[in-house]
Amino acid sequence: ATTYPAFAGTVRLVKRWLAAHWLLRSHVTEEAVELLCAHAFVGSGRAKAGQSDESVPASKERGFARVVAFLKDWDWANGVFVPIYEDKDVGAGQEGSRVVVTAGSKAVWTVATDFDKEGHMWTAEGPDNVVANRVKSLAQATWNVLQQGAESGSLDVKALFVHPVDDYDFVVQLDVSALPRYTQNILADPVVWARKGKYANLQRQSAALAAPVPRSGFDPAQMFWDDIKRVHADTLKIFYDPIGGDRFGAIWDPSLKQPRPFRVMNHFSSIPVTKDIEKTKDKDKALVVLNESAVLSEIIRLGSGIVKA
């Protein structure tokens, strides 16, 4: 902290940025984020303790911009080495293990250190190819906004943390009154927790009768997200802001939209393909596709009491 005073603030900003765009924890681990932020300070032969280097970020804002710049240009197929465990940059120029990227690859980021030379301790479960490309596009868009703000002298900081939802196949809105962490939402509405009622004494009485019971770590939105991810792991990819998020976004597995033969263990909710029987060959009569409406109904049922009707 004394060597790089801007590091902690940089980590918080980058984590909040990824969380606001529905990627932190669910697809990108916090430890991986911390290593990438460390790379902005000590990677590529930058200064170590006792040395001075003007290229080291002196503020959390500069550190955030540097991480974003790295992510938009990073060829993650080559990996990155972060020399954080040695006094000297013994790993400078060293690359992480090269990754063979495929559409179904579960982990495409390699973030290596002296302790983890393979670089998959914190990226073994993701991000996959889809999410890694999403991070790259997000970083490019964020960088463009930062550049425009620097040129115009006016930057809407909150705009960097507002997440567009046009690319999702569907979005589930949650009831904010049932979310303990909603106060941490980037766009939280204070009306949700404002006192309601005309008479103050009645407000106090009703508050006493309905006093909440402290539940450490209770996060119904996160529990709901975990259930959806577990139940529909073979059907969709889901995204969520774990820091006060009030919506889920999901994309269907595109391969399930193509007709395929019916099997008992297909691992997804299916529905027969409707075709003209007279024009359909016998071997094609048992084709099925993803039953999207059934999956959505199941999600609403699982989220009873938390999904906004």
Q: Is position 29 within any domain?
A: yes
Nearest to 228 by CA among 303, 306, 284: 303
- What CATH number is associated with residue 239? 3.30.70.3030
Beta strands 111-112 and 80-81: pairing type? parallel
Using the 3D structure, point to which of 118, 152, 186 is the last residue of a domain: 152
Residue 179 and residue 108 in one domain: no
Residue 260, beta-bridge partner list: 288
Q: Is position 179 within any domain?
A: yes
- What CATH number is associated with residue 73? 1.10.1410
* Structural domain span for residue 196: 165-309
Residue 135 and residue 258 in one domain: no
pLDDT at 298 (0 to 100): 92
Residue 112 and residue 220 in one domain: no
Residue 134 and residue 217 in one domain: no
Beta strands 80-81 and 247-252: pairing type? unpaired
Using the 3D structure, point to which of 152, 177, 204 is the last residue of a domain: 152
Residue 175 and residue 203 in one domain: yes
Residue 146 and residue 263 in one domain: no
pLDDT at 258 (0 to 100): 84
Q: Is position 157 within any domain?
A: no
Give the model confidence (pLDDT) of 206-236 as tens digits: 554 455 666 677 889 999 999 999 999 889 9
pLDDT at 1 (0 to 100): 56
Rounded CA-CA distance 205/277 in Å is 67
Number of separate domains in the chain:
2
Sheet holding 170-173, edge to edge: 170-173, 247-252, 236-240
Residue 143 and residue 222 in one domain: no
Give the model confidence (pLDDT) of 139-179 as tens digits: 999 999 999 888 888 888 888 999 999 999 999 999 998 88
* Regions of the chain with pLDDT less than 50: 46-51, 88-104, 208-209, 277-278, 282
